[in-house]
Amino acid sequence: MFPLLLPALLALQLLATPQPTDDELLKKARKIHQRVLTLDTHADAPIMMKGEGFDVGVAHDTKKDKSQIDFPRMKQGGMDAMFFAVYTSQGPRTPEGHAEAKRDALNQFDLIHKALKKYPNLAELATTPDDAYRIQKAGKRAIFIGMENGYPVGDDLSMLQKYYDLGARYITLTHFANNLIGDSSTDPDGPMYGGLSEFGKKVVVEMNRLGILIDVSHVADSTFYDALALSKAPVIASHSNCRALCDFPRNMTDEMIKAIAAKGGVVQVNFVSDYLKKPSDEHRAAKTKIRMSRVGKVATPEMEARIAAQSDSVSKAYASERASLSDIADHIDHIVKIAGIDHVGIGSDFDGGGGVNRLEDVSQIENLTVELLRRKYSEADIAKIWGGNLLRVLGQAKAK
């Protein structure tokens, strides 16, 4: 009889053990953030920085101006490092379209560099793992640069060297629509190449040579497998979630997650509600319509203002469907379960649609650590999730 009673007795003992309060968990999370290096691989701060008068060195209020990132709030939340994403929406695949995309991208690089020059006491450019740890030790924020969408490469392979020299350390091969590199997971017209284009294959090889991480967020499944097979270095998904938990082509299947892990790479979970939990059909249709309204067009301030207003209206209309900290942790749990603790991280997508209840901006990231502590993740696990895994992979970006 005793063996049958043992599980019940253990359960009773667990219930009798005092569980830490939220305040106790928050104190513990804060101490962990003081000890480990925290890194977010996908922050769309340059979108806000392009706005007239926005100063990333000054604290802002999320409710007032919708921004989620600045240097003071990074410090307040215990965020040591972020990849600022140079994002270009997919415009026309024409010489004129590519020229405009390059201009836009180079302007965003310039905005990041000017901000770092203006606030050398607050933040510094990082391009290597060693840079991140050195800058953290100095009490400053480490700013890496990634590129979301290979569209500004155009058909000019030499642009990869240009972007690398400016600090880019990953490039998301595609965005919401196909480009000259390969097929996107969400192009309304369907695939063009059945994966990587012939030019895209050259892009992957050159990125390996330079040491630019190949980012497979947003790409079609066929493009994913082409890039994974061709790359001699580990690949990352800089801001992707699990399709098993939220069925959307932007998310990774279990097989894709396992394949990234087998190659030594990492999947960085994002905070976008409709990639964390399945929204209603009406909500998804409204969001998809807004996203696709950029495709094939040259971005203008007027268009971006109109899209921002539409996005705000949809967010308010479907506020009850917003995701939670628990939803983020569920995706982390799932990746850990199928691929292991060494292959998961964080890519918030703040300033690009990321944000859930109780995690409204970068100043609140300790709340996610509280949720991980509640789920019995150790400090060593949390250090891996919050940056250690990604920095390991970044150190392996240059193909041997």
pLDDT of residue 28: 97
Q: Evaluate if residue 16 carries a pLDDT over 60.
A: no
pLDDT band at 349 (very low <50, low <70, confident <90, very high): very high
DSSP assignment of 2-70: HHHHHHHHHHHHHHHSPPPPHHHHHHHHHHHHHHSPPEEEEE-HHHHHTSTT--TTS---HHHH-----
DSSP assignment of 120-183: TTTEEE--SHHHHHHHHHTT-EEEEEEEE-SGGGTT-TTHHHHHHHTTEEEEES--SS--SSB-
Q: Evaluate if residue 386 carries a pLDDT over 90.
A: yes
Tens-place pLDDT, residues 73-106: 999 999 999 999 999 999 999 999 999 999 999 9
* Average per-residue pLDDT for the chain: 92
Q: What is the pTM of this model?
A: 0.90
Strand partners, 345: 268
Amino acid 47 reads I
Task: Name 243's Cβ contacts closer than 8 Å, sequence gap at least 6.
Answer: 249, 251, 252, 253, 254, 256
Say which range, 173-177, 205-209, 318-322, has the weakest mean pLDDT: 318-322
Q: Residue range 118-126: average pLDDT?
A: 98
pLDDT of residue 107: 98
Name all domains of the chain by residue range, CATH numbers in brackets: 22-394 (3.20.20.140)
Q: Evaluate if residue 287 carries a pLDDT over 70.
A: no
Q: Evaluate if residue 361 carries a pLDDT over 90.
A: yes
Q: Evaluate if residue 273 carries a pLDDT over 60.
A: yes
